[in-house]
Structure formats: structure tokens, C-alpha cells
Amino acid sequence: MTRNTDNRKRAFADVVSIDAWHDDFTDELSKVDLHADVVFGSARVGGEPESPVRFRLGVRRAEVVVVIPESEPVSVDRDSVSRDAPEYQGKLTEVVEQTSQANVKGNVSGSISATGLSGSATVEAGAQANVTSTKKLEVSATVQFMLVTQSKTAEGHYRWSVAARADEKLQGRPWDGAKQPRLRLVDKRKDRTKGIPPTVRVEVRCRREDLIIQDLGVKDEGLWEEVKSRVGFNNKLVAAESYIRDRLAEEGIVVRNIGELFSQITLGSVTAETT
């Protein structure tokens, strides 16, 4: 796999890691599968001495978007777009147990003859016992660890929305990047032996409201007071948001109004490499 120096670094590689690739376009090969391996996790943020706060960062929902610039001579084979649910599933089992207890009393009577003569004796016995009856109902259902929905962006780019089950933090892979390509690219150049091969990007985006900031704390009270007076932070959450914005800006990703819950944030962007 060739190295592509145009790939942007991921400012929060522990939150999301992206790898994208496809085969080389050749004179004989005009269609290639685009693979995107995406891994979600949690990041420990704020370890730098100049950071006044530290926190853990994750994401509960995200979008994986295949961006094809209008200037690139490449299109998408619609029949090849992955539209199905992921194979990674688990089984949720619930056991319902019902126990009932009953008291049983019985009378036993009979005739006995002690001597074999005409006289008889009758014996009545009373017995009481506890009888327990148990019923178990086992219900099993298949659940998906991540819910994946395919759609298009307003610009017409193919995307896959990934949500964690029960609104939890995204962890792991939503699909097998090697075995489940996202779509097939079609080279539209008339002569594929000349010119620069087309390129595409894979981006992971989320909304501000889908960022999970946990265990937020001040590292140094003196540094915190200094930062507050200098840049006007009025609480720790604003400081964390400013940290996230600055880190993304260092990687060339502009975030506008990170305090707005519905603002869109690009967590990572890579150019697909060729194999």
C-alpha cells in the first residue's frame, strides 16, 4: 500500500481511527472496490502541560461519508453501495422464573385386625407436605451492537450513519472494512494510462451534541484562573470545547461555533490510498 502524504492527521485518533483504500485503476481495470475501516473508541484528552483541563472524549453517533470532489473523473456504481446491516450481532437472553408452592394434606384410613377375630381397629393418619413447582421461560433475541443506516448528504455524497445501541458510546468497528467494501468506484477517464488517477476522501463527522465529555476536571487551579482571565472561559465545559476546536484547527479542520449543539464537526478525514 503506497503512502499518501495528503492524508490529514487525526486529532483524536483514539476517538476514531480511519483507514481507506482501493485497488489501482489500470487500463484493464476501470472499477474498484472502496474499503473503509473505521474504529471508534475513547480518548484521554488534556495531557499537555498547557491544557488547563483533562477529560475523556467519545462519541455516541457519527457519519462515515465518502466525499468525491466534482473535479474528479470518477463515479459510483449504485448497485454496489453497501445498504445492509452489519454482521456483528449479539444475543440478548432473558430468563423469567416463576415459582409456586402448595400445601398438600391427605387423610389415610384403613382397617386392621390385631387378632384376626371380629374386633377391628381403624387408624387415620394426617400428612402435610410442601410441593414446589418451577416454570422457566427463556426469551432470546438478536441485537446489533451498532445500528448502521445508509443515506446521502445534502451534497449527494454517500454516507453511513452509525449509532450506538441504547444511546451509549460507540466502541469498535461498525463493519469489517476488509470484507465489506462501502461501494465501487468507476474511473471515467477515456485513457487510464494517462493523467492523474482520481482520488476520493473518507470523512467521519458528528454533531456537537453527540460528543461525550466525561470525567472533566481542572488540572491546575492557578493555570485555570490564568486561562479564564485571558480568554474568558466561564466554566470547564467551555474550556473543553475550546480545546477540541483548537486541536482540530491544528490539523486544518475548521469548526464553527462548537458551542452550538447542532454544529457539525469533522473528527477525521483521509484520502483513500491505492494498493
pLDDT, tens digit (0-9, with 9 covering 90-100), for 22-48: 999 998 999 999 999 999 999 988 887
Q: Which residues of 126-154 are buried (b: 16+ CB within 10 A; e: fewer)?
A: eeeeeeeeeeeeeeeeeeebbebebeeee
The C-alpha atoms of residue 223 and residue 217 are separated, in whole angstroms, by 13
CA 230 → CA 221, 223, 224, 226, 239, distances in Å?
14, 11, 10, 6, 12
Based on the domain organization, do 33 and 110 belong to the same domain? no
Based on the domain organization, do 120 and 233 belong to the same domain? no
Best mean pLDDT range from 8-17, 138-147, 263-272: 263-272
Based on the domain organization, do 186 and 116 belong to the same domain? no
Based on the domain organization, do 162 and 106 belong to the same domain? no
Is the per-residue pLDDT at 106 higher than 60?
A: no
**Hey, is 72 helix, strand or coil?**
coil
pLDDT digits (tens, 9 = 90+) for 189-208: 988 888 889 999 999 999 99
Based on the domain organization, do 118 and 249 belong to the same domain? no
Q: Is residue 10 part of a domain?
A: no
Q: Residue 149 belongs to what domain range?
A: 16-87+145-274
**Cα 159 off chain centre by:** 15
Cβ neighbours of residue 10 closer than 8 Å, sequence gap 6 or more: 16, 17, 18, 251, 267, 268
The C-alpha atoms of residue 102 and residue 118 are separated, in whole angstroms, by 42
Q: Is residue 263 part of a domain?
A: yes
Q: At what angle do helices 236-250 and 221-231 cross, to 10 degrees?
A: 70
Q: Is residue 117 part of a domain?
A: yes
The burial class, CB within 10 Å (0-12 / 13-18 / 19+), for 90 is exposed
pLDDT digits (tens, 9 = 90+) for 65-74: 999 999 999 9
The structural domain count of the chain equals 2
The burial class, CB within 10 Å (0-12 / 13-18 / 19+), for 69 is exposed
* pTM exceeding the 0.75 threshold for the entire prediction: no
